[in-house]
Amino acid sequence: MTPKIAQFLAEQKPATPCLVVDLSCVRTQYHALHGALPSSRIHYAVKANPAPAILRELHALGSFFDIASPGEIDICLEAGIPAQKLSFGHTVKNVRSIAYAHQKGLTLYAFDCLEELEKLAEHAPGCEVFCRLGVVNTGAQWPLSRKFGTTPESAFTLLQKAHELGLKPVGLSFHVGSQQTNTEAYGDAIAQAAGIYHRLKKQGITLDFINMGGGFPTYYNSPIPSIDQFGQAITKAMNTHFPDTAPRILLEPGRYMVGSAGVVHTEVVLASRRGGGDGDPRWVYLDIGRFGGLAETEGESIRYTFQTPHDEETSGTSPCILAGPSCDSMDVLYEKNLIPLPDEIKAGDRINILATGAYVSTYCSTGFNGFPPLDEYYI
């Protein structure tokens, strides 16, 4: 929680639930990542939080942007970002989306199979393409494997095929999984990409870049490596695998860029040891839940930190089950990993959920069960 957000909440007393994002944190994160890997080009993954204020802030800092749909293209163009600064990083696109991107002037596209490559050759002729490798996502708390990426052997074949189809093969990409807490995950993936890079070079195809995706973690409630440690691991792997000239590094951070910049401000609707016995668990129902934006609590994968008004003066805490406000019994945030909260917690108390700037606002339903979507403030 930054002083600016604390002051905003104290002065404005906004209705709950709401998300408040401190834009100066986004700037800090951009500079820290750029400082850790100075020669990299950063393509912010727009899906993490597409708020125009964030896009404009990052654009002013020189960021590029990674988008996945015509909707995200429009948001970026409306924020004043030129099409040349957008990459279409999604490997699964319908032909209308490809044609739309091409018409708007996007030149860089991802693929991971022959069929997608053929769609690109037809609907975005002459474009630059990069092939996504499937890499293991061990160490990631929100894995992105299985659904995307191909084998090294097929990447080697497909990038040559791209050339034959009149496209420009310019890179390889991978994503080590979101909220990746193991710095070595990048090194292993770089080793794979380097193997293909060198084989292609012998065939007369020199790739411009390796796109290392995102994955850089946000601090929630357990220790994570610093961004400099990630930078060192990546630099070391690049030096090992590219002793002569190295391709450029592209990064697609989402969570890292905005996660720590946001706070969800929520109200307790009900707090009760239902059943009444001492052994019965205490339930705390908030006015935001799984459908109000906290979708990453699925499987209790992402574990947020909760700040309550009683943290300083509590007489004791009890492990609580945390749930959302809707009538759906799936709408429980944490049930296996109970959250210790002060016993004084009662209906009407305001609770802050820290580091919720990424993957919250757009995961919010349009009004499930009549609960209005989260308000957002960018300060």
Ligand X SMILES: *Cc1c(COP(=O)(O)O)cnc(C)c1O
List residues with catalytic annotation. 327
Nearer to ligand X, 59 or 175 (CB): 175
Q: Which residue is nearest to ligand X (CB)?
A: 214
Q: Min. distance of Cβ 192 from ligand X in angstroms?
A: 17
Question: Which region, judged by CB under 6 A, interacts with ligand X, from 118-126, 189-197, 251-259, 293-301?
Answer: 251-259
Question: Which region, judged by CB under 6 A, interacts with ligand X, from 19-27, 53-61, 78-86, 248-256?
Answer: 248-256
Task: List all residues 6 or more positions away from 261 whose beta carbon is below 8 Å from its beta carbon.
Answer: 21, 22, 23, 25, 26, 29, 357
What would you report as the CA-atom Rg of the chain, rounded to the nearest whole angstrom? 22
Query: How far apart, in whole angstroms, are the C-alpha atoms of residue 198 and residue 207?
Result: 9
252 is a contact residue toward ligand X (CB under 6 A)? yes
Q: How far is CA 233 from CA 124, 180, 240, 279, in A?
A: 36, 13, 11, 48
Question: Which region, judged by CB under 6 A, interacts with ligand X, from 77-85, 234-242, 253-261, 343-351?
Answer: 253-261
Q: Min. distance of Cβ 63 from ligand X in angstroms?
A: 13
Q: Min. distance of Cβ 66 from ligand X in angstroms?
A: 6
Question: Which region, judged by CB under 6 A, interacts with ligand X, from 1-9, 162-170, 207-215, 266-274?
Answer: 207-215
139: which DSSP letter? T
**Cα atoms in the 13 Å half-sphere on the side-chain side of 31:** 8
Query: How far apart, in whole angstroms, are the C-alpha atoms of residue 245 and residue 230?
Result: 21
Q: Min. distance of Cβ 142 from ligand X in angstroms?
A: 7
Q: Min. distance of Cβ 208 from ligand X in angstroms?
A: 18
48 is a contact residue toward ligand X (CB under 6 A)? yes
Q: How far is CA 118 from CA 17, 94, 121, 124, 303, in A?
A: 45, 12, 5, 10, 41
Using DSSP's 3-state secondary structure scheme, residue 234 falls into: helix
Helix (H) / strand (E) element for 86: namely: strand 86-88
Q: Candidates 213, 231, 289, 325: give the one binding ligand X (CB under 6 A).
A: 213
Q: Min. distance of Cβ 327 from ligand X in angstroms?
A: 31
Q: Candidates 17, 50, 70, 89: give the one binding ligand X (CB under 6 A).
A: 89
Question: Which region, judged by CB under 6 A, interacts with ligand X, from 151-159, 210-218, 266-274, 301-309?
Answer: 210-218
132: which DSSP letter? E
Query: How far apart, in whole angstroms, are the C-alpha atoms of residue 246 and residue 95?
Result: 34
255 is a contact residue toward ligand X (CB under 6 A)? yes
45 is a contact residue toward ligand X (CB under 6 A)? yes
Q: Min. distance of Cβ 364 from ligand X in angstroms?
A: 17
Nearer to ligand X, 145 or 369 (CB): 145
Phi, psi of 373 (to 5 degrees): -60, 155
In the chain, what is the straight-line distance between the N-terminal and C-terminal CA atoms, in Å? 13
Query: How far apart, in whole angstroms, are the C-alpha atoms of residue 298 and residue 142?
Result: 10
Q: Candidates 256, 285, 291, 304: give the one binding ligand X (CB under 6 A).
A: 256
Number of residues that bind ligand X (CB under 6 A): 16
171 is a contact residue toward ligand X (CB under 6 A)? no
254 is a contact residue toward ligand X (CB under 6 A)? yes
CB-CB contact of 266 with 350 (8 Å):
yes
253 is a contact residue toward ligand X (CB under 6 A)? yes
Residues that bind ligand X (CB under 6 A): 45, 47-48, 66, 89, 175, 178, 213-216, 252-256
